[in-house]
Structures are given as C-alpha cells and as structure tokens.
Amino acid sequence: MLVRMGTTIVYSSDVPTLPADIIAPILEQVSDRRDLTRCALVNSLFHRAVIPILYRTLDVRTRRVRDYDDKVLIVHPSKTLLRRPEYAKYVRYIREAGKKVGLS
C-alpha cells in the first residue's frame, strides 16, 4: 500500500522497519491534519500512533452540507466521538472559532 503525503510517497512495506517507539515522536512533527489522517491509513501501528495526535484538539467549527432534499445540515466533529467514544480520552483542547481552550 502507498500513501501520498503532500509530495512525499510512503510505502507501507518500508514502515515496519521503524521501531514502534519512535513513530509517535516523528508523527508529532506533522502539522497538516490531512497528512496525519493519511498516515493513519498506512498500517495499524501508524493508526495507533496518529489517533492521539488527531484528537488532541477538537475543532468544533461546523460546516453546512446540503442533503438530497436540499436541506442544510450542520455537521459537527463530535459525531466521530459518538461513534468511537474511546477517542474522547485523547481530547485535551477544544478549538471554537479559532480560540483554543484547554480541558482539565
């Protein structure tokens, strides 16, 4: 399997040679959420390392989507947490309209 990260292509057959304990610190350096999402698709080891990074900050901005009846629906990112409640333990910050608020 290959995953395109911007202009870089990562082949999952190359990944198992990396020690598991250095994958998370490497992925911490990736700033683009789309690239992190792509990294989660490389293999299960990357997926386990990326999920805490992706869910550290929950972006609560909403977006409007038109459905088949031409109604406007509001899609909220917490929908994923309702489907995967085990990810909630990784949320440390909530970002609303550009403001970042820490959780205690």
Residues 93, 82: Cα–Cα separation, whole Å: 17
Structure confidence at residue 52 (pLDDT): 94
Write the CA distances from 75 to 60, 61, 67, 78, 79, integer angstroms: 10, 9, 11, 9, 8
Strands of 8-98, DSSP E: 8-11, 57-59, 63-66, 72-75, 93-96
Contact yes or no for 62/74 (Cβ under 8 A):
yes
Instruction: Please state, rounded to an integer, the average pLDDT across all residues of the chain.
Output: 77
Q: How confident is the model at residue 21 (pLDDT cuts 50, 70, 90)?
A: confident
Average pLDDT over residues 15-34: 84
Provide the pLDDT for residue 61. Answer: 67
Domains of the chain by residue range: 2-97
Look at residue 27 and tell me whether its pLDDT is greater than 90: yes
Residue 55 near residue 91, CB atoms below 8 Å: yes
Better pLDDT: 73 or 23: 23
Higher pLDDT, 34 or 95: 34
User: How high is the pLDDT of residue 14?
Assistant: 53
Query: Among candidates 30, 41, 35, 33, which has minimal Cα distance to 5?
Result: 35
**3-class DSSP assignment, residue 91:** coil
Predicted model pTM: 0.66
